């Protein structure tokens, strides 16, 4: 996917600045000259192989219509392949969840207050649960961190709130990278 396609998806989410995670600065030794000290930073090729950060479990009302398009754009912007994420119904028994055997860390991401409350056992409203790393309330061998955000249908009716969704996604990504 090229940068202009990513920009379209991000613009739809209300994000105006973005740097590709493929744009890693790599030091390259060059011939010393008066204008440089022998090291120059260049961007790596966007064809570099992506290394997975982990597995994402998304919970909430299954998106439909424009909400489905928004969700697919989120998946694209996060750079997740099909085997790196799964949609889970928060009403299914949590004891039926199984940790994938790929050995990668996991993060749960809940869309909406009711899904978050059901998954964590918390009683606070969504505004108090956002921007906090919660725990998935299930009987898995290892604790799965959970980040809460707004329901996708709610975000469609309030486009300016998409920035808050992006902040929640960045928090989840940061948690996943630090597991």
At residue 123, the 3 state secondary structure works out as coil
CA-based angle 75:137:141, to the nearest 5?
A: 90
| Under 8 Å between Cβ of 153 and 112 | no
Domains of the chain, first to last: 3-43 (no CATH), 55-177 (3.40.470.10)
Residue 2: other Cβ atoms inside 10 A? 8
> Which residues 6+ apart lie within 8 Å of 35 measured at CB?
none
Q: What does each of the 179 residues of the chain score in pLDDT, given as a tens digit?
A: 555 555 665 566 555 555 444 443 333 333 444 443 333 333 333 333 455 679 999 999 999 999 999 999 999 999 999 999 999 998 888 777 877 777 889 999 999 999 999 999 999 999 999 999 999 988 877 889 999 999 999 999 999 999 999 999 999 999 999 98
At residue 67, the pLDDT reads 96
């Amino acid at each position: 996917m090229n940068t202009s396609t990513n920009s379209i998806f991000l613009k739809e989410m209300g994000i105006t600045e973005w740097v590709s995670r493929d744009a890693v600065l790599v030091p390259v030794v060059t011939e010393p000259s008066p204008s440089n000290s022998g090291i120059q930073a260049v961007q790596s090729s966007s064809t570099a192989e992506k290394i997975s950060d982990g597995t994402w479990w998304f919970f909430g009302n299954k998106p439909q219509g424009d909400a489905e398009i928004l969700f697919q754009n989120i998946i694209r912007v996060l750079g997740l392949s099909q085997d790196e994420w799964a949609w889970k119904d928060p009403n299914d028994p949590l004891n039926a969840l199984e940790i994938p055997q790929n050995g990668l860390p996991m993060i749960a991401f809940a869309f909406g207050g009711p899904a978050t409350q059901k998954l964590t056992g918390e009683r606070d409203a969504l505004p108090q649960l956002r921007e906090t790393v919660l725990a998935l309330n299930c009987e898995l061998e290892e604790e799965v961190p959970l980040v809460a955000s707004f329901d996708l249908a709610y975000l469609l009716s309030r486009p300016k709130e998409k920035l808050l969704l992006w902040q929640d996604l960045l928090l989840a990504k940061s948690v996943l990278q630090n597991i």
